[in-house]
Amino acid sequence: MEEKEGVEMEQNGNKSVMLLILTTGVFGILNTEMGFIGILPYIAEYYQVSVVQAGWLISLFALGVAVAGPTMPLFMSRFNRKWVMVFILGLFTVCSTIAVFAENFYVLLAVRVLPAFFHPVYCAMAFTVAAGLARTGEEPKMVAKINMGVAAGMVAGVPISNFLAEQFSLSASMAFFALATLLVMLATLWFIPSMPVKARLSYGKQLAVLKKPMVWASIVAVIFLNGSIFGVFNYLAEYLGVVSGVAPALISILLFVYGLCNILGSMLAGNLLTVRPLTVVKIFPLAVAVIYIALLGGGSVWPLMGLIVVIWGILGGINANINQYWMASAAPEAPDFANGLFLTAANMGCVLGTTVSGQFIDAWGTQYVVLGGLLFCLLAALVFWAQCYHKQVHTSLMVQSEH
């Protein structure tokens, strides 16, 4: 089904243009989601709430994505993908526009959470369309291009929102989110061809993948791995200011550097996961743990902190691709549903990681947010290693049976 759709889409529209718009669309969605990380301290000050309370804007958004991930892509898989994407981009634009004028924290929270339920629909469709345009065996490379939109959301969203809030106002940051999704919505209307679903899997066949133990193990692995990254990253702006003693203007630059390194990491991940996927998956949690140990010991040392941000940014870009690859490979027979499960697991990891790491902050101070990241690194490593061992044993038995 996916190959046929990919061929038809390539005939109806330029593949490169489509990939660019899909990538930019994911950027617009992620820009709205992740951009709030850069302005948490400003939100806390403006609305007179704690930084941990302001963090609800991130964790509840992620929870909305997690709740909608398994159901909304499944439900909307029957509709024309172009018009679904236009609707979602329009909803994000309207909600961000309301946020510009919100004077009450709970009004901001409401218009923040509403579009979260449609986030997994857009992203799941973008991943599926990109994979459908790829040659057999090169799907990770195409998906990596979409994940560059995620990284670009961090490159532009986090530091620019931080800069706008610092130099102008919090409302200016909200307006930036609205403008980004508005422009992509117009590009989608103009350049993306109609994408009706020609052959749709039944809901029952897609839900049947939940009977596979490896699917559930993959969900747990993605939760832990994403928790290890975002449980710490979501408090990065606060950490840089409180622990590292970095000036507000320099925080914007460091967040921008982190995002640029995310793009580099995503570019590297496409090739790494095509050539040596299991090796990358097994080593990755350990690499993140090493960075956090360095952060725990040298987070207050400026030159070392700059180097840590660079390496951490590269790993953050690789992380998104590992998560998507791992879920997609666990349920290749239902790609839309698998991508929805990936987004659910990833955002559950964000919620859990942010919550647990926030507890370390409340108990011992901002410096010890790293302990939450280390805990999730350990849990992710254990699950990934067990899965890799199972896959290697299964492959070995298959080879022996053939002989």
How far is the C-alpha of 367 from the C-alpha of 316, rounded, in Å?
20
pLDDT value of position 394? 61
Does residue 351 contact residue 57 with C-beta atoms inside 8 Å? Answer: no
pLDDT value of position 135? 67
C-alpha distance from residue 117 to each of 60, 338, 352 (Å): 11, 17, 18
- The rounded average pLDDT for each run of 10 residues, N- to C-terminus, in the chain (403 residues) is 43 70 88 82 86 83 81 80 92 94 90 91 84 70 79 74 86 91 92 76 78 92 94 86 81 83 87 86 94 84 84 92 89 80 86 90 88 95 90 60 55
Helix (H, G, I), strand (E, B) or coil at 240: helix
Counting the structural domains of the chain, the total is 1
Task: Report the CATH number at residue 134.
Answer: 1.20.1250.20
How far is the C-alpha of 304 from the C-alpha of 240, rounded, in Å?
12
pLDDT value of position 134? 66
How far is the C-alpha of 280 from the C-alpha of 266, rounded, in Å?
13
Q: What share of the chain is helix, strand, coil (3-state, %, to 5)?
A: 85, 0, 15
pLDDT value of position 296? 83
Which helix (H) or strand (E) covers residue 250, if one does?
A: helix 248-275
Tell me the residue range of the domain where 244 lies: 2-402
Maximum distance among all Cα pairs of the chain, rounded to whole angstroms: 71
How far is the C-alpha of 401 from the C-alpha of 398, rounded, in Å?
5
Q: 157, 158, 184: which is closest to 89 by C-alpha?
A: 184
Buried b (16+ CB within 10 A) or exposed e, 361-397: beeeebbbbbbbbbbbbebbbebbeebeeeeeeeeee
pTM assigned to the model: 0.75
